Amino acid sequence: MLLTRHAKERLIKRLAKKKKLELVYSRLWEFLDSSVKANINEKVVIFTDGRKSLVCTRLDCERLSLEEIKGRVEGIKHSYKCVFFDGRLVRETVPEKFLELVPEGVYCFYINREKGSLYIGSEPPLLAITFRPAKKNERRGR
């Protein structure tokens, strides 16, 4: 899961209380573990714990082997926000160095060079749009 700047600010305010990237993601994964997933349509997904809701949109990705991914990021010299969803690993580093921590396999791969974001995982990536109080119909389910 990747975060927009707005979603990251909301997560810091309502969940993490600190700006460190690793802490924000660890709190996010704790929230996801205790929440229910609701597919609104083919593009929008909401995770809710009955009190708060995380609104996400699906991103398009490619399924590539780790070697193919390494080929795609070769030559990138500045740091990216790198997320390995399966290992719950997040770092702000050069992608080549980050990929040394990822085991061999075939993964969904998404990169946004403009925003400096990289996602690798067995499931397609989601982009968190906002983190807000749960609406009435989202509270009813809990």
Global pTM value = 0.88
Asked if residue 46 lies in contact with residue 137, where contact means CB atoms within 8 angstroms, the answer is no
pLDDT band of residue 137 (cuts 50, 70, 90) is: confident
pLDDT at 142 over 60: no
33-49 b/e with 16+ CB inside 10 Å = b?
eebeeeeeeeeebbbbb
Nearest Cα to Cα of residue 91 among 82, 78, 102: 82
Q: State how far the Cα of 108 lies from the Cα of 123, in Å rounded to an integer.
A: 6
Q: Which residue has the tokens 């975060």?
A: 3
Write the DSSP symbol of residue 3.
Answer: E
pLDDT of residue 52: 94
Q: State how far the Cα of 7 lies from the Cα of 74, in Å rounded to an integer.
A: 29
- CA dihedral for 30, 35, 41, 44, sign (positive or negative): negative
Question: What are the domain boundaries of the chain?
Answer: 2-59+124-133, 62-121
Q: State how far the Cα of 60 lies from the Cα of 36, in Å rounded to an integer.
A: 23
Task: Decide which of 139 and 6 is more confident.
Answer: 6
